[in-house]
Structure 1
Amino acid sequence: MTSRSDTATGSAAAPDTGRVADAPSQNWVYRVLPRSLWPHAQLARWDRPIGWQLLLWPCLWSATLAAGAQAAVGPVALGTYAWHLVLFLIGAIAMRGAGCTYNDLVDHRIDMAVARTRSRPLPSGRIERKAAFVFMALQALVGLVVLLQFNGFSIALGIASLVVVAAYPFAKRVTDWPQLVLGLAFSWGALMGWAAAFGRLDAAPVLLYVAAILWTIGYDTIYAYQDREDDALVGVRSTARRFGDRPRPWLAAIYGGAVLFLVLAFLAGNAGLLAWVALLVAAVMLAWQILVLDIRDPADCLALFRLNGTVGLILFAGLVAALVWRLIV
């Protein structure tokens, strides 16, 4: 899975350095991998981990909320829960990489027209389309192997997500709300974690899914303000262009909705007290993003976007703490 928010801005680098303009030049990719593999790593966004982290958090929230619900009524298979967390981690990295590669293949011409993305491997010519297709297939294969470790219901659910994933790169050509389509794809893990534990869906994961969709729309809108002018020039549509110079009322409604649905999901999933404390902290952090946002400062937009990785971590830590407390008390 991918997004225009799957990038992290760094200082622009000349194409002949082998780096891309929108990633830190000192990332581990450039220190550890041989230069011949840099284009592959850039396609998969291994040099920008925030993307797979944002994809991962709804998976971990859901899996941990499910474990807490199990602990409230009986024993929990902690080994299975831990194994699911590992699988979700591997799957998030693999599928985010496959999605980014797919997105770059679809957006090849658009990326050539935008200064920030022109130095990416495909538009810069550092990798051929055929090689990118092969690399995408290999990453998708890893994701498939991960998916097959779950129960049958989860496998079918995971396969169903591919419809949304395939549609995302084209959404920005036809709607002002591509961030909504991204949210539908990026938040799918909110369903998967619960399904992996119970083999079904209940109200809690569905409510969590809605919350994660709204959260994704919010943070990706903030990120999209970096590209608003370039997007207008090349005809790419986004919520940043839709909201214009007054995004705060929109973001307040979107982030407020995310918090509301998190509350409903936590109620339906019988989340413990410590999870509620984490939710309060996360809500304050979301409100702070709206208050301090400067849409004319790309660095500020990037920093606030990246802060959502911490928001996701705090919610996960709260759910884990609530689970541990429930197990020992």
Structure 2
Amino acid sequence: MPEPAPAPEGAGSVADAYKGNWVDRYAPEGWKPYFRLSRLDRPIGTWLLLLPCWWGLFLAIAATGGARLHDAWIFAGCGLGAILMRGAGCTWNDITDRGIDGSVARTASRPIPSGAVSAKAAFAWACAQSLAAFLILITFNWAAIGLGVLALLPVTVYPFAKRFTWWPQVFLGLAFNWGALLAWTAHTGSLGWPALLLYVAGMAWTLFYDTIYAHQDKEDDALIGVKSTARLFGEATPKALRVFLVLAVTLMGLAVIAAAPTGEVGMLVLALAGAGAFGWHLARQLRSVDLRDHDRLLSLFRSNRDAGLLPVLFFAAACLA
């Protein structure tokens, strides 16, 4: 990996980063562009990648009747892996989009289009993060390792999806919710219907939150010919969001029912309450959507960390029922 170089004059905080984030305030100057490539100044994406992992893990523990010591490492390993793989994926995304990002107001300040990092250095950074994530992955069982390697396929394809389909958010959902499959398998040793249902529920959730997010860029996207569900649905977006909400909650509920051992009423009730709380949060977001208020759209998108944490908390409680 190349030595980090000082950022060029004028290269600073990325436009949609949290104001006063730790990268801008505390990171060594030469590392700031690399940390920004990894979105360490914007942690919401890491949460959205991590939370389906924890859904899968806690639902698997609840379904099998108890945690093992190794589950603590799966929990922590998913956290570290989410940081690394989100960083690697975002770096790859910025490499592939380097000809587009400079034409979009929200992304023009990113490290590659702004000149803070070269595409070659960014590729080396993506490889370094991927290697570190792989070292975590190989501490899991063989089935989980295989799934982790397969996850590279949707990660690789996603940045190109907006060039050939109006549904790039589906490809994002394929990549971002893979952890539900992996964490379930890391605990149980094999895939199961509950994990698959949870995975598709997560994909519907991704369509919900990333359609909201994509409305920030729809004017620029239209000018440069980039496709998205925000452009596809336009003013009908609230109706589409309602469909994604119902799908996400219904599929999560079906995953819980499929996972619940016979006679474990307490586990079933608590886990279903988690799906209900998740749906309540999404419904509250839907009521607040204003497609013309970019600050509101970004705030709603970020609030999905809290939405995704609700099933984690209820599934964890269900493990103790």
TM-score between both structures, scaled by the size of structure 1: 0.91
Mapping of residues 202-241 of structure 1, within 5 Å: 202-241=192-231
Matched, 1:302 2:298: yes
Contact map agreement 2:11 2:109 (CA 8 A) in 1: no
Aligned to 2:133: 143
Per-residue CA deviation, residues 95-149 of structure 1 (Å, 9 max, x unaligned), is 0000000000000010011111111110010111121111111100111111111
Contact map agreement 2:194 2:255 (CA 8 A) in 1: yes
Contact map agreement 2:291 2:297 (CA 8 A) in 1: yes
Aligned to 1:131: 121
Q: Distance in 1 between matches of 2:253 and 2:19?
A: 40
Aligned to 1:6: none
Report how far residue 276 of structure 1 moved: 2.2
Report how far residue 76 of structure 1 moved: 3.2
Q: Distance in 2 between matches of 1:199 and 1:168?
A: 28
Contact map agreement 1:277 1:318 (CA 8 A) in 2: yes
| Structure 1 residue ranges, 4+ long, deviating more than 4 angstroms after superposition | none
Contact map agreement 2:59 2:259 (CA 8 A) in 1: yes
Contact map agreement 1:101 1:136 (CA 8 A) in 2: yes
Contact map agreement 2:278 2:310 (CA 8 A) in 1: yes
Contact map agreement 1:57 1:312 (CA 8 A) in 2: yes
Mapping of residues 287-326 of structure 1, within 5 Å: 287-324=283-320, 326=321
Q: Distance in 2 between matches of 1:151 and 1:321?
A: 25
Mapping of residues 140-289 of structure 1, within 5 Å: 140-270=130-260, 271-289=267-285
Partner SS, residue 312 of structure 1: helix
Amino acid at match of 2:145: I
Q: Distance in 2 between matches of 1:101 and 1:201?
A: 30
Contact map agreement 2:11 2:116 (CA 8 A) in 1: no
Given the alignment, which residue of 73, 78, 102 partners 1:112?
102
TM-score between both structures, scaled by the size of structure 2: 0.93
Report how far residue 24 of structure 1 moved: 2.5
Aligned to 1:36: 30
Partner SS, residue 57 of structure 1: helix
Partner SS, residue 149 of structure 1: coil
Matched, 1:45 2:36: no
Per-residue CA deviation, residues 222-271 of structure 1 (Å, 9 max, x unaligned), is 00001110110111100000001111111111110011100100101114
- Unmatched 5+ residue regions in structure 2? 1-8, 261-266
Contact map agreement 1:275 1:315 (CA 8 A) in 2: yes
Amino acid at match of 2:34: H
Per-residue CA deviation, residues 56-85 of structure 1 (Å, 9 max, x unaligned), is 0000000010011111xxx531x1111100
Contact map agreement 1:272 1:323 (CA 8 A) in 2: no
Amino acid at match of 2:167: W
Gap change, CA 1:76 and 1:22, over 3 Å in 2: closer
Gap change, CA 1:19 and 1:211, over 3 Å in 2: same
Given the alignment, which residue of 79, 82, 86 partners 1:89?
79
Partner SS, residue 124 of structure 1: coil
Amino acid at match of 1:76: A
Given the alignment, which residue of 55, 64, 67 partners 1:76?
67
Q: Distance in 2 between matches of 1:113 and 1:124?
A: 11
Q: Distance in 2 between matches of 1:277 and 1:264?
A: 12
Partner SS, residue 121 of structure 1: coil
Please give the root-mean-square deviation of Cα atoms over the aligned residues, in Å.
1.3
Report how far residue 277 of structure 1 moved: 2.1
Report how far residue 17 of structure 1 moved: 5.1
Contact map agreement 1:148 1:155 (CA 8 A) in 2: yes
Partner SS, residue 235 of structure 2: coil
Contact map agreement 1:272 1:319 (CA 8 A) in 2: no
Amino acid at match of 2:273: V
Amino acid at match of 2:287: L
Per-residue CA deviation, residues 184-230 of structure 1 (Å, 9 max, x unaligned), is 11110110111101111111001001100000011000000011101
Q: Distance in 2 between matches of 1:24 and 1:317?
A: 26
